Amino acid sequence: MYAEADRLKPPQDRFPESSTMPIGLLALSLAAFSIGTSEFIIAGILPDLSADLGVSIPTAGLLVTAYAFAVAIGGPLLAMGTTGLPRKPLIVFLLAIFSLGQAFCALAPSYSWLMAGRVFIASSHGLFFGVGSVAAINLVPAQKRGMAVALFIGGITVATVIGLPIGTAIGNAFGWRWTFVAVGLCGLAALGLVALKLPHDPTQHENPTSLRSEFHALNHHQVYLSYLTIAVMMVGVLAFGAYQVPAMIAISGIAQDATPLVLMISGLGAIIGIYAGGRAADWKLMPSMMTILLAQVGAAGLLALTMPAAFAMVVALFIWSVSVWALNAPVQSRILGAARAAPHLASTLISTAYNIGIGGGAWIGALWIDHGFGYRSLPVLGGGCSLLAMGVAAASWTLDRREPRRQLASHPVE
């Protein structure tokens, strides 16, 4: 991603001297917020959705699994098929698919049709984040690229703080279908802003990166073992996260109308986590990753212990959310630092790794519940996955020490 931006070298007069970020970048962040809310929102409306469509909560949770797997598979395939296409028209087209899909979901007459709509929406997700991240860094000078990526990806974090609670509240008040309407309108607003404010990039076809060179850049343990770390960790996160609202209601005794507030508190933990993880990555990347994964194990155990007590459970959920989101910046910095020659594919495959874990976690969580283990034990499953992810990260770190000259690649890109 950063390698492509270095090759483009846009003229400096495109970047006005200002402390504010371009409106086009804010438009991309709004689009990321809309798409992130769409992915996570099923967790907030799960009880009402399952009752209205006549399916069990674990079956309804498979809507998360199908969406995530569609992102994981479709993103890289579309990235390979759209290499070299103009970014702005492609982003506008992807947002149009997203908004149309929300309308389809709002009108879906059955569970099967809703599932089809979710898969349709997911087709735009992975490619959007791959193309959007490259577009974001081309809106600012080199010294502000890190902040540009943080602001763009931050739209997903804000989705957990604002989008998920508000979408849940809308569903509680007016019905789950209106949640999809609201997300679709947000997507349309982002589409309009992108169409108006995101500039065209006439230089993007110079020195294009071949698919062969992109695949070659991914063939290093710092890249593929980091993808595996993400996927394994996210299995544990979503095994609980996809069913956290039913768990709050059934185990902690939290009223359904109060769940949006709890989700907002958890989302604030996500914001703290993502920025704390960024600072930790700038300090010492691999020690930070290991510490964060160990903290996830402890937070998951605390969550399992405190779940029957509402207040203590909320505190534990906040701590758990901090630890989960803190890994985001270090692990992505490691991947992008080691795969500089694969700008589109590396960034798209980050989304793929996350969504393999998301889909697998929601599916395994459904099986866990169906086999009678109950909501309370789901965080224990999550802690076990974080411990396994820690082992994968430790293996990659060990390989670093055998390749001292490649060690620099594990540091965040400037």
Residue 93 lies in a domain: yes
Residue 13 lies in a domain: no
pLDDT of residue 116: 92
Using CA atoms in the order 372, 375, 376, 378, what is the torsion angle rounded to 10 degrees?
90
Residues of the domain holding 339: 2-7+19-407
pLDDT of residue 340: 67
Percent of residues in the chain assigned helix, strand, coil, to nearest 5: 85, 0, 15
Give the H or E element holding residue 86.
none
pLDDT of residue 137: 72
pLDDT of residue 223: 85
pLDDT of residue 11: 40
Flag residues of the chain having pLDDT under 50. Answer: 1-19, 203-206, 406-414
Residue 91 lies in a domain: yes
pLDDT of residue 12: 41
pLDDT of residue 212: 64
pLDDT of residue 385: 95
Residue 334 lies in a domain: yes
pLDDT of residue 102: 94
Residue 52 lies in a domain: yes
- Per-residue burial over 15-29, b = 16 or more CB atoms within 10 Å of its CB, e = otherwise: eeeeeebbebbbbbb
pLDDT digits (tens, 9 = 90+) for 65-75: 888 888 888 87
Residue 173 lies in a domain: yes
Residue 251 lies in a domain: yes
pLDDT of residue 301: 94
pLDDT of residue 384: 94
Residue 413 lies in a domain: no
| Whether the model pTM is above 0.75 | no
- What is the domain count for the chain? 1
DSSP states along 372-402: T--GGGHHHHHHHHHHHHHHHHHHHHHHHHH
Give the other-Cβ count within 10 Å of 213's Cβ: 12
pLDDT of residue 117: 92
pLDDT of residue 233: 94
- Structure tokens given for 153: 């990806």
* CATH code of the domain covering residue 96: 1.20.1250.20
pLDDT of residue 218: 73
Nearest to 251 by CA among 318, 313, 302, 296: 313
pLDDT of residue 145: 60
Say if residues 98 and 30 touch (Cβ distance below 8 Å): no
